[in-house]
Structure 1
């Protein structure tokens, strides 16, 4: 019976499905999830390459390599001073992928009220804090 599965099973299952859904969305643009993370981090405006690499250091893959690929696509301009910004083509690509990612997020919350969704996130965050504290990390 599904209701008897522990929370860890549900969390892992949801994570797997979200990864699969998001991978399929970005693959439609010829991107990886890492491309999306870099593209999205640059969408707010100009940034320094070193800052982007540092901000995304905890995620798998080499942000520098991804930046080079995005620049080769004509989606990112690099200045001599190490600043980066999205080109018009890069901004358009970001908008397309962002809309698709938004659809995945909305589908994930189908049938949930805003309050249910917010409460679920709050409960999961509290559980993470509890486990981190039990492991001596909090």
Structure 2
């Protein structure tokens, strides 16, 4: 294998993304949550008093297609994990419990991903990826 400084960034970022997404989706599926549902639950957890539907879509939308996010909002509601008063969406008690369980899974996944990686190396990797996107004229934002 070529030394790391001679290997293609696009190849490794694609493979890392595929691997992380597959592992995350599999672990969440074990507790009956899809990744888009997790994104919605996470956003609702940040707004205990409720948040406008369009704000949720706008925040998590870049993670997937708009259709996937709207479907996740419908699914979260159908599962009884959220309530909609017409102005805002908020977690129900069942939704809070489901969020907390999914957050435990996400924390365990992050510990798994970080094995042998220092916080400094992780931060450097994120900074390099952000700078690469910027250098190429792309845009990326994460809440």
- Counterpart in the other structure of 2:109: 104
In structure 1, list runs of 5 or more residues that go unmatched. Answer: none
Between Structure 1 and Structure 2, whose CA radius of gyration is higher? 1
37, 53, 57: which is aligned to 2:57? 53
Once the two structures are superposed, what CA deviation does each residue of 1:54-77 show, in whole Å capped at 9, x if it has no partner? 333332234333222212211101
Displacement, 1:2? 5.9
Instruction: Report the TM-score when normalising by structure 1.
Output: 0.83
In structure 2, list runs of 5 or more residues that go unmatched. Answer: none
Q: Secondary structure at the match of 2:137?
A: helix
How many residue pairs are counted as aligned between the two chains? 133
Counterpart Cα distance in 1 of 2:129 and 2:60: 23
Instruction: Report the TM-score when normalising by structure 2.
Output: 0.81
113, 118, 127: which is aligned to 1:122? 127
Displacement, 1:53? 2.5
Is contact 1:25-1:97 (8 Å) kept?
no
- Counterpart in the other structure of 2:77: 71
Q: Secondary structure at the match of 2:31?
A: coil
Stretches (4+) displaced over 6 A: none
